[in-house]
Amino acid sequence: MPSISAIFWDVGGVLLSNAWDHNERKEAFAKFELDAAEFDKRHEPIVASFETGTVSLDQYLDQTVFYRERAFTRDDFKRFMYSCSRPNADALNLARRLAKSKTLRMGTINNESRELNAFRIEKFDLRSIFDVFVSSCFVKLRKPDPAIYRHALDLTQRLPEECCFIDDRAENLVPAQKLGMHTIRMSSAHELQEELQKLGVGTH
């Protein structure tokens, strides 16, 4: 088996909490007393454009929240959105150790909107870990579209069998597997470390 020379990581659900998934939206509904059904009806048609960077955060909020007067401000809502991002400290520390080894190419393959992605990269110092960010908002593709995984391989000039992709959702692992990449479904940092060691990736 060829040795692993590159690891691609999902961000939300692996290294950090999700940026703006159903749990975060549910918290927003309660905090800001929003009608969940109405929000979802407005969210669904625009979320793909939001996550591929063709719609800005303000445009997204115009569509989903501020289409009418609210008792709270746009800045209040944005602050809440940013506050939803929290680290998975054990997984982040594992990724940092691997990055410091200088033996692996490290990248992300993640679905995130431009503003939230930029905030999370800065806040959690992800540039010190990753060589390349294959984020949906930058490459205009979203998982599980097979093209985003091929794009990651092209950008890093790696063969699929030299790569491992880590995600917490099974449906996002399938296209990577079909391309020939090794995959690990994230459940805990401890199990992730064990699975990487099985692939011959030293994690100490």
Query: Mind listing the pLDDT tens digit for each residue in 160-175?
Result: 999 999 999 999 999 9
Taking alpha carbons only, the member of 150, 122, 123, 152 closest to residue 135 is 152
Cβ count within 10 A of residue 9: 25
Q: What is the pLDDT of residues 38-78, one digit of tens each?
A: 999 999 999 999 999 999 999 999 999 999 999 999 999 99
Q: How high is the pLDDT of residue 2? A: 72
**Strand-strand pairing, 182-185 and 163-167:** parallel
Per-residue pLDDT band for 204 (boundaries 50, 70, 90) equals low
Report the share of the chain in percent with pLDDT over 90. 98
CATH topology of domain 22-83: DNA polymerase; domain 1 (1.10.150)
Report the share of the chain in percent with pLDDT over 70. 99
The order of strands in the sheet holding 105-110 is 132-135, 105-110, 6-9, 163-167, 182-185
* Four-residue CA torsion sign, 199, 148, 143, 64: positive
> What is the pTM assigned to this prediction?
0.95
Distance from C-alpha of 35 to C-alpha of 192, rounded to nearest angstrom: 38
Is residue 22 within a helix (H) or strand (E), and if so which, with residue range?
helix 22-32
CATH topology of domain 6-18+86-198: Rossmann fold (3.40.50)
| Domains 6-18+86-198 and 22-83 belong to one CATH topology | no
Distance from C-alpha of 33 to C-alpha of 181, rounded to nearest angstrom: 44
Token output for 67? 């289409």
Q: How high is the pLDDT of residue 98? A: 97
Q: How high is the pLDDT of residue 202? A: 81
Is residue 140 within a helix (H) or strand (E), and if so which, with residue range?
none
Taking alpha carbons only, the member of 8, 3, 62, 5 closest to residue 177 is 8
Q: What is the pLDDT of residues 75-111, one digit of tens each?
A: 999 999 999 999 999 999 999 999 999 999 999 999 9
Domain residue ranges of the chain, discontinuous segments joined by +: 6-18+86-198, 22-83
Q: What is the pLDDT of residues 104-134, one digit of tens each?
A: 999 999 999 999 999 999 999 999 999 999 9
C-alpha distances in Å from residue 103, one per residue of 7, 34, 47: 11, 48, 37
C-alpha distances in Å from residue 94, one per residue of 70, 88, 101, 194, 196: 42, 10, 11, 11, 11
